[in-house]
Amino acid sequence: MNGERQFGADGRGVSPVIGIVLMVAVTAVLAGVFGAFAADIGQSSANPAATILIDENADEEVTVAVRSAERLDSLEVDEGDCDNSDSIDPEVGETLTIECEDLDEGDETTIRAIGTHDGIESVITSYEYQGR
């Protein structure tokens, strides 16, 4: 058998063209995989991040204040044995006043600020209040 009859008299091979097409396809797939990986790194969910100040005064009141809210969709305040749980607007400057009149002298309770961001709930800060 003569090679010219089977493949024609052209003499050019198809193999280099297929090799180049495959190299371009592999490069495009790898670029897509690396791009998707790099884009996913910055989009990962993180715990809530905020600065919450909890302070008490002489009138048996506790004030919960939002000082910063970088990653905070909602803020719940668990008032322990003082009252019930309340929500507070997660905006800087918002405050909530809790009255702890029902606690006897020496009784303790924990007041917690619980933040939520992207469905992740986390205790941001807690405060041990002791009745007077």
Tokens linked to 58: 């002489």
What is the reported pLDDT for 84? 63
Per-residue pLDDT of the chain (132 residues; tens, 9 = 90+): 555 556 555 556 667 788 889 999 999 999 998 888 877 665 556 777 788 888 888 777 888 888 888 888 888 888 877 766 677 777 888 888 888 777 777 778 888 888 888 888 888 888 888 776
What is the reported pLDDT for 86? 76
> Long-range CB contacts (< 8 A, 24+ apart) of 102-106?
103/60, 103/129, 103/130, 103/131, 103/132, 104/131, 105/131, 105/132, 106/130, 106/131
The model's pTM: 0.58
What is the reported pLDDT for 13? 62
Residue-by-residue DSSP string for the chain: --HHHHH-S----SHHHHHHHHHHHHHHHHHHHHHHHHHHHHT-----EEEEEEEE-TTSEEEEEEEEEEE-SEEEEE-TTSS--EEE--STT-EEEEE-TTSPTT-EEEEEEEEEETTEEEEEEEEEEE--
Which CATH superfamily is 49-130 part of? Immunoglobulins (2.60.40.10)
What is the reported pLDDT for 11? 57
